[in-house]
Amino acid sequence: MTDKDAVPLESPFTLSGKTAIVTGGGRGIGRAIVQRLASARANVLACDLDRQALEETQASVYHPERIALVCGDLMQPAFPQEIVNAALEAFYSIDIIVNCAGFSWDSVIQKTSDEQFLAMLNIHVVAPFRLLRAASDYLRETAKQEIVSGQRVMRKVVNITSISGTDGNPGQVGYSAGKAGVIGLTKTMAKEWGRYNINVNAVGFGLIQTRMTQPLKPEGKINMGGRDIPIGVQPAMLDTIAAACPLGRIGTSEEAAGAVLFFCSPLSDYVTGEVLICSGGYHF
């Protein structure tokens, strides 16, 4: 084959005209997902607790006008409906929902308070449930109109779980329970919403390079609901996991976002109710 015979490679899909909601879009994997979706020409409503982080996400994409922002606490019952309203006001549609927001608050069970355990359930299971419930009227009614007119328009939900949820992990009783709950939510919604041409899948991450998995330091904390919560991983554990991983390293946020992008794209139109593990082959 000569250069004249070569066919230029083109992207197998575009998300032009689609609107995505991404929770936790201010940092880490959430920011990388926003960037990937924007690069595929989607409009994105990014939400996070940190306004400055959201603005940095918006500034990081080539077409910042494709990004709208809403700042608030997902663990507040009314906020998911605000997110849905903001997406429809900004872009007039909802085609993709990525439930990415989360954090870890770790302890062995005898040291885990009710507040701590419930916080893990609230952010990882209850918040995605509320967001999907808030979006359900728009998604169902729009799909019904499309089906009556003979159209098949596929929409996407991608929930984020973890190998802590699929395998369990000592010291993460709340986090693991929350992430296991995500899988049940995903599989049930895939069965409920298949009739509306909505694919509902989950991506389960292993260890990905974010502020949550940085080496543990005394100053490493996030503030949630007025509480300072330690974040980070013991350096020895990071080294052990990297050595045990078949790929020999910890993943990047961009690699994590690539797995999510697959489920947001037309390439996954006949895939629903599945959990894709993005861990470099590592399991606890």
The catalytic residues are 175
- Provide the pairing of β-strand 221-224 with 227-230: antiparallel
- Euclidean distance between CA atoms 212 and 161, whole angstroms: 15
Radius of gyration of the chain (CA): 19
Instruction: Please count the other Cβ atoms lying within 10 Å of the Cβ belonging to residue 251.
Output: 23
Closest CA to 247 of 283, 203, 210, 274: 283
Residue 31's φ and ψ, nearest 5 degrees, are -65, -45
Q: Is 257 helix (H, G, I), strand (E, B) or coil?
A: helix
Distances (CA, A) of 259 to 58, 59, 159: 21, 23, 12
C-alpha dist (Å) from residue 142 to 97, 136, 147: 15, 10, 9
Cα separation, 140 vs 118, whole angstroms: 30
Chain-centre distance of CA 162, in angstroms? Answer: 11
Residues 6+ apart with CB under 8 A from 274: 201, 202
106: β partners = none
Residue 172 sits at the vertex; the CA angle it makes with 169 and 173, to the nearest 5 degrees, is 100
